[in-house]
Amino acid sequence: MFMMYTRTLFVAVALVPAAKGHGTCRHPAANATTSTHRELLSVCMLSRCQDSAADTGATCPLLRHVESAGSNPYPTRLAGERDAAAPRATREHQDTRRGTVQTFATVLNEKELADTNLQFVSQHYDLVLLSFPYARVVTRLRRSNPDLIVLLFNNPYFAFGERFWQAGPDKDLEDVAGDWLLRDESGAVVRYNGPLYGGLDFEQRVPLMDIRVWAWQKYYAAQSAKWVREADMDGLFIDTLGEHPPHFAQAPGGASEHRKWRDSAYGLLHELKEAFAGTEALLCFNGISRPVGARQEKANRGLLRRCDGTTIEAFGITMGMGHSDEAKQWFFFETILKDLHSASADDKLVLIEVYAEQPTETNRMYALCSFLLVQNERTYFYHTSLSEAGTTQWRPEWSLDLGHPTDTYRRHNDMYFRRFEKATVWVNPQPETHVSPLAVAQIDPAGRHIRHVRLAPFSGTILFHADKRDRN
């Protein structure tokens, strides 16, 4: 998922399927209440890309009208504005209904452990990444939502402090496990020197571990199983595990060394399965991401076969999904329609993280609507700006109630659509504006009944069905 590093551990919290990791979602959008107020609000929150991809940042007149009624449960600005980028923990009347979109959040900084923030996260999201393995935090999250799966989220490359190591600060690492640290050819300990996450408020230049060392694999597996058990979690999410050395831990040796690294990753999973033997713990990893223009058809598929779930990044903190037209098309045709769709179809849990240089409403709705084309009970969505990666994000459109999908996605006039019980999702993944006729009138983001859908390049929208507007 993220290359997130802290002196403690990482935890993921996910919605409980009927059978752990693979059943029917207990979070049906049909359970959410729909009202005229909510539908009015929804058309304001959706993409204004019918005629232009430009974002004005102005508060929608319909939204201002709804707010004047005194019952708006959402942040008072449009989702694209800075003030609405993260949840408002002090706000008293937040919407507590999770909608059709299955989302996940992050709680990686100490300040995000405030009770009001944990309550907000528990009430709004289907999956949470939590960097503190505290049973009290897990209990607090489950108090508002007992149907949560809690996964320990950590990273086998990074040397942390007391919680995982049962060790002291960095200066004590040599005494605790000097033989397990990753070293360069001179014997010096290698520290992380990759890109930093702007949303994290702790030291990220930590020492690296050598996952090729069997003793470290055993210890990591044992400690992971220990914390899953003691904090009453449901499994483990392993960050940045791959069949090749990550860029921040490149080792000498060429192809033979890469093969050894792959075999070591498989060995680590073997030790984890041994440590969790006799339990129903889920094992998930990050991930199967492919950068724009990648030649390989699949990434880390050997690891995917050995795990219950994975992550896809689009495309990391060095380049967002909206970087170029090429990146936007790759995101739709390769990341969404190929990688996400195929992995979830193989009965895997799949988290997708979409990064943006500028999280404009047009880019957000393009990413969200693309995701909705293939969403099922095993997929979870996250969107953030590059500068805020690692912080809890909230987008009001994530609470929209579309009902259950009634079919799979289809293509029409170079656009793609998918029908839900209460709405239809449309995406234009092309660099030209496209128009498509509608069989019946639907309600566009401006609140108009329309007979044609018009989408600007690389945009998406949600059209509500006129005969479903006032139904619960």
What's residue 350's pLDDT?
Answer: 94
Alpha-carbon distance values, 197 to 141, 288, 317 (Å):
25, 20, 7
**How far is the C-alpha of 264 from the C-alpha of 220, rounded, in Å?**
13
Question: Under a CB-based contact definition with an 8 Å cutoff, are residues 393 and 382 in contact?
Answer: yes
Pairing of strands 379-385, 410-412: unpaired
**What is the rounded radius of gyration, in angstroms, for the C-alpha atoms of the chain?**
22
CA distances 118 to 27, 306, 321, Å, are 19, 32, 29
Question: Phi then psi for 121, rounded to 5 degrees?
Answer: -60, -45
The encoded tokens of residue 270 equal 């073997």
Please measure the distance between the N-terminal and C-terminal CA atoms of the chain and give it in whole angstroms.
35
Distance (Å, whole) CA 17 – CA 38: 27
Residue 18 has pLDDT above 80, yes or no: no
Residue in the structure block whose two tokens are 């950590």: 154
| 158-217 pLDDT per residue, tens | 876 555 655 545 555 666 677 888 888 888 888 888 777 777 776 778 788 899 999 999
Number of neighbours of residue 229 by Cβ within 10 angstroms: 14
Beta-strand pair 349-356/10-15: unpaired
How many angstroms separate the Cα of 449 from the Cα of each of 65, 294, 464? 19, 42, 9
Asked if residues 260 and 285 have their Cβ atoms less than 8 Å apart, the reply is no
Q: Which helix (H) or strand (E) holds 257?
A: helix 254-275
Based on the number of CB atoms within 10 Å of its own CB, is 59 exposed (0-12), middle (13-18) or buried (19 or more)?
middle
The identity of residue 171, as a single letter, is K
Helix, coil or strand: residue 301: helix
User: What distance separates the 2 farthest-apart alpha carbons in the chain?
Assistant: 71
Reduced DSSP (H G I as helix, E B as strand, rest coil) percent helix, strand, coil of the chain, to 5: 35, 20, 45
Neighbouring-strand partners of residue 283 = 236
List, in order, residues 6 or more apart from 83 with CB less than 8 Å away: 75, 77
Instruction: List, for residues 265-301, the tens digit of each pLDDT value.
Output: 999 999 999 999 999 998 999 989 998 888 888 889 9
The full DSSP string for 157-213 is TB---HHHHS--SGGGHHHHHGGGB-B-TTSPBPB--SPPPTT--S----BBB-TT-
CA separation for the pair 101, 125 (Å, rounded):
9
Q: Which of 118-122, 271-275, 314-318 has the highest mean pLDDT?
A: 271-275
Grouping H, G, I as helix, E, B as strand and the rest as coil, residue 108 is: coil
Q: Which of 319, 318, 300 is nearest to 309 (CA)?
A: 300
Range in 31-40, 194-203, 381-390 the model is least confident about: 31-40
Q: What pLDDT, on a 0 to 100 scale, did the predictor assign at position 42?
A: 35
What does the block give as tokens for 415? 């656009």
Please say whether the structural domain 10-34+81-403 has been given the CATH code 3.20.20.450. no
Question: In this structure, what are the phi and psi dihedrals at residue 177, rounded to the nearest 5 degrees?
Answer: -155, 55
Measured in whole angstroms, the distance separating CA 281 from the mean position of its chain's CA atoms is 20
Contact call for residues 420 and 112 (beta carbons, < 8 A) = no
Cα four-point dihedral sign 300, 104, 347, 271: positive
Average pLDDT over residues 148-160: 80
pLDDT band, residue 109 (cuts 50/70/90): confident
At residue 310, does pLDDT exceed 60?
yes
Q: What percentage of residues in the chain have a pLDDT greater than 90?
A: 32
Q: What is the pLDDT of residues 126-139, one digit of tens each?
A: 888 777 788 898 89
Q: What is the pLDDT of residues 334-357, one digit of tens each?
A: 999 999 999 998 889 999 999 988
Q: Which residue has the tokens 């969200």?
A: 368
Q: What is the mean pLDDT of the chain?
A: 75
Which pLDDT does position 166 carry in this prediction? 56
Q: How far is CA 48 from CA 44, 208, 296, 439, 444, in A?
A: 8, 45, 36, 22, 9
Are 17 and 134 in contact by the 8 Å Cβ rule? The answer is no
Given a cut of 90, whether residue 435 has pLDDT beyond it is yes
> What span, in angstroms and rounded, lies between the C-alpha atoms of 81 and 188?
46
SS (H, E, C) 332-380: HHHHHHHHHHHHHHCCCEEEEEEEECCCCHHHHHHHHHHHHHHCCCCEE
As a whole number, mean pLDDT of residues 434-451 equals 91
Pairing of strands 10-15, 104-107: unpaired
Question: What is the structure's pLDDT at 144?
Answer: 83
pLDDT-based confidence at 402, cuts 50/70/90? very high
Q: Is 57 helix (H, G, I), strand (E, B) or coil?
A: coil
